[in-house]
Amino acid sequence: MNEEGIKGIEGIRDKSKPSLHQVSLSSVTRILGIDPGLRITGFGVLDKVGQKLIYVASGFIKTPSGDLPERLKVILNSLREVIEMHQPQLVAVEKVFVNVNPQSTLLLGQARGAAICAAVLASLPVAEYTALQVKQAVVGNGHAKKEQVQDMVQRLLELSGSPSPDAADALACAICHAHAGMGLGRLATKGMRMRNGRLT
Positions annotated as catalytic residues are 35, 94, 166
Q: Are 107 and 66 in contact (CB under 8 A)?
A: no
Residues with Cβ within 8 Å of residue 114, at least 6 apart in sequence: 36, 72, 73, 75, 76, 79
Q: How far, in Å, CA of 194 to CA of 132, rounded?
A: 16
DSSP characters for 163-198?
A: PPHHHHHHHHHHHHHHTTTTTHHHHHHHT--EETTE
Q: What region does 123 belong to: left with phi over 0, alpha with psi -120 to 50, or beta? A: left
SS3 62: strand
User: Which residue type is seen at 132?
Assistant: L
Residue partners of 198: CB distance under 8 A and separation at least 6: 148
| Separation between Cα atoms, residue 62 and residue 43, nearest integer Å | 11
